[in-house]
A and B are shown apart, each in its own frame.
Chain A
Amino acid sequence: MQDKTRTVLTLALAAAGLVATAAHAQEKVKIGLVTDMSGLYADLEGKNGAIAMQMAIDDFGGKVLGQPIELLTADHQNKPDIAASKAREWIDTQGVTMVFGGTNSGTALATAKVAAEKKRVYFNNGAGTSVLTNEQCSPYTVHYAYDTVALAKGTGSAVVDRGGKSWFFLTADYAFGHALEADTTTVVKAKGGTVVGAVRHPLSASDFSSFLLQAQNSKAQILGLANAGGDTINAIKAAREFGINKSMKIAGLLVFLTDIHSLGLKNTEGLLHTTSWYWDRNDASRQFGQRFFEKTKRMPTDVQAADYSAVTTYLKAVQTAKTTDSDKVMAELKRMKIDDFYGKGYIREDGSFIHDMYLVEAKSQAESKKPWDYLKVIATLPGEQIFTTKAETKCALWK
């Protein structure tokens, strides 16, 4: 009896395998986006990120290699196990040809591992950790928008150059916060600055006052916020309430347009940070911003703009390679030149998309002339310098 059950099971599994192979043979392009759709990072990408991706698919004509393009989405709730099992399920049963990981570094590292093991193309936007293209780099990973190294070099050097020599970090206690703190520390020390201390807070902590008082007691000049989204918002709000913004200067290491929108310029004026894109920078970016606004009633964050660009880049690679085969698509991705409203550059051997980033500062209320007019671009940071360099890399693919 038991033998019979086993035989039936084996047959069923074999059949499932056949279905999966058949789906693959059709060359249908399926993109699976797994990101935070409901938690503290949902505004900076979330469902509007999926809308940007769908815009890219529609603009591409909805088809590639004669087959319709399909977008699947899932909410990982900031849990790495959910993200990884969703990616596994999509690859095994849905024939997803590209897994798209969104915000949260913990989930990104877990999903990238699954994609590498299954040899499936993996894109990420929004997860910061530089580990994705460094210690844990994979031939199937493309890290598109930014990473903690670029953010650290951008904001870290600008702040030290302006006299902010001593730092105290307020760090989100998981992969992303740790990477951002470590990468910024390296930059600060290389520039002759010092790090006097750090306090690590749990993800989505509701009260920051206690951590901020510790920061204030450290007597450091600069409070480096190595966190993101809702955590950055609450930290800045509490810093203002306790007057810490008067004794220390706040450096937001990862700040999104939605954070500034929600805090208001009154609370954020002068906040120096690094971004990969800003809607009001040139005609092409304004045009995309406007189209996105019409659909969502919000201007896009840099992650959402990157979502559009990344999907387009992937579809172009599939079209040129004339296949969805991961190895061939990856080869094409690393060969092609990218030049669109989001950025201009190329995907390097380690999987980083090398493009310029921007040092920006939040405007004052008087400087802001129209809705969503929040930032002024202070400097363009060249891609070749801002991302990990050959001398710094620990990625085995790029040695």
Chain B
Amino acid sequence: MTVTLPALLSQLLLGLVNGSFYAMLSLGLAVIFGLLGVINFAHGALFMMGAVIAWMGATYWSINYWVMLLLAPLLVGAFGIVIERLLLRRIYRLDPLYGLLLTLGLTLLIEGAFRSAYGVSGLGYDTPELLEGATSVGFMMLPNYRAWVVAVSVAVCLATWFLIEKTRLGAYLRAGTENPRLVEAFGINVPLMVMLTYGFGVALAAFAGVLAAPVIQVTPLMGQNLIIVVFAVVVIGGMGSIMGSVLTGLGLGVIEGLTKVFYPEASSTVVFLIMVVVLLVRPAGLFGKEA
């Protein structure tokens, strides 16, 4: 098979679109793991919830895409806060494995509930009118909506990184997870901060879900298909490293896109191959700090 340059460039661009979703999701996971030490397996289910809520808004109350892009993350974020208060808070002192099991259980419950309500074939969600159609970028016709996805997710990722690494609030957060007692002694409400962090992390997942709704069919399984890859992304990037997970997400999206051209059969496994190699060479991940 011969691959022409325009074909290659367009595949790279499409890889970047998928990479944006990986980046947004792994970013949320990295923030939650970095600050709470919880491996949030429910991330995929919450991503799906964001998309389904966007669909519900459009179908039952005719609320448009732009409003849902804000509303769905708020609702899912609030749901996340409830989870944190009722369940996660009780297991912070235990082995991280308990967090994984708890959130896996939540995933099964959430997905099961949506599956019995809506089935698996899914629900159609239309592209917002403003972003319909495609623009020529020289080597291909790029659907406007996909361009928007890349732009907005890169912006959100950078903003998150800035917030946590460069602001005073972010400094409190990082300090709070290093030594909660000391930070509390300075009069900062650490449990509240941790709760809001979890809410923010899952809101990011829901935001990605709303972004994905017009691109892939909204189904109860949409998170499941993605989440395993996203975990691999986090492992490759290094658990808890924020910039690492963003860059790895985008990079792996591109590598996966190239695999789809040269050896499509391996496109669902290439990420895991890379994970194996990275773990052998750098067990802490590409951007992780060696313990």
Contact B143 A233 (CB under 8 A): no
Task: Tell me if B119 counts as interface (CB < 8 A to partner A).
Answer: yes
Q: How far is the CA of A237 from the CA of B134 in the complex (A)?
A: 15
Task: Tell me if A11 counts as interface (CB < 8 A to partner B).
Answer: no
Contact A241 B264 (CB under 8 A): no
Contact B11 A213 (CB under 8 A): yes
List the B side residues contacting A204 at CB < 8 Å. Answer: 221, 225
How far apart are B159's CB and chain A's nearest CB, in angstroms?
Answer: 25
Q: How far is the CA of A40 from the CA of B115 in the complex (A)?
A: 11
Task: Tell me if A302 counts as interface (CB < 8 A to partner B).
Answer: no
Contact A210 B134 (CB under 8 A): no
Question: Per a CB cutoff under 8 Å, which of A206, A238, A259 touches B222?
Answer: A206
Give B1-32 as 1s and 0s: 1 = Cβ < 8 Å from A's Cβ atoms: 10010010011001101100000000000000
Question: Per a CB cutoff under 8 Å, which of A42, A210, A267 touches B14?
Answer: A210
Task: Tell me if A211 counts as interface (CB < 8 A to partner B).
Answer: yes
Contact A230 B257 (CB under 8 A): no
Contact B261 A230 (CB under 8 A): no
Residue of B nearest to A261 (CB): B121
How far apart are A258's CB and chain B's nearest CB, in angstroms?
Answer: 5
Q: How far is the CA of A5 from the CA of B122 in the complex (A)?
A: 54
Q: How far is the CA of A200 from the CA of B261 in the complex (A)?
A: 10
How far apart are A15's CB and chain B's nearest CB, in angstroms?
Answer: 37
Residue of A nearest to B124 (CB): A264
Contact A243 B121 (CB under 8 A): no
Contact A217 B221 (CB under 8 A): no
Contact A237 B217 (CB under 8 A): yes
Task: Tell me if B70 counts as interface (CB < 8 A to partner A).
Answer: no
List the B side residues contacting A199 at CB < 8 Å. Answer: 260, 264
How many B residues, CB 8 Å from partner?
38
Contact A201 B267 (CB under 8 A): yes
Contact A241 B145 (CB under 8 A): yes
Question: Per a CB cutoff under 8 Å, which of A214, A233, A259, A264 touches B261?
Answer: A214
Give B146-166 as 1s and 0s: 1 = Cβ < 8 Å from A's Cβ atoms: 100000000000000000000
List the A side residues contacting B257 at CB < 8 Å. Answer: 210
Question: Per a CB cutoff under 8 Å, which of B7, B14, B215 touches A217?
Answer: B7
Q: How far is the CA of A202 from the CA of B272 in the complex (A)?
A: 14
Task: Tell me if B216 counts as interface (CB < 8 A to partner A).
Answer: yes
Task: Tell me if A270 counts as interface (CB < 8 A to partner B).
Answer: no
Residue of B nearest to A210 (CB): B260
Q: How far is the CA of A335 from the CA of B9 in the complex (A)?
A: 61
Task: Tell me if A262 counts as interface (CB < 8 A to partner B).
Answer: yes
Contact B217 A234 (CB under 8 A): yes
Task: Tell me if B182 counts as interface (CB < 8 A to partner A).
Answer: no
How far apart are B282's CB and chain A's nearest CB, in angstroms?
Answer: 27
Q: In the complex, which residues 215-255 of chain A have their Cβ closer than 8 Å to any Cβ of chain B? A: 217, 229-230, 233-234, 237-238, 241-243
Q: How far is the CA of A264 from the CA of B121 in the complex (A)?
A: 12
Task: Tell me if A332 counts as interface (CB < 8 A to partner B).
Answer: no
Task: Tell me if B219 counts as interface (CB < 8 A to partner A).
Answer: yes
How far apart are B150's CB and chain A's nearest CB, in angstroms?
Answer: 13
Task: Tell me if A361 counts as interface (CB < 8 A to partner B).
Answer: no
- Interface-central residue, B121, B127, B217, by most chain A CB under 10 Å: B121
Q: List 9 A-B contacts (CB under 8 A).
A: A42-B120, A197-B1, A207-B18, A207-B215, A230-B219, A262-B123, A262-B217, A264-B124, A298-B119
Top 5 nearest A-B pairs (CB, nearest first) are: A262-B121, A202-B268, A210-B260, A43-B121, A43-B119
* Chain B residues at the A interface, C-beta cutoff of 8 Å: 1, 4, 7, 10-11, 14-15, 17-18, 115, 119-124, 127, 134, 140-141, 143, 145-146, 215-217, 219, 221-222, 225-226, 257, 260-261, 264-265, 267-268
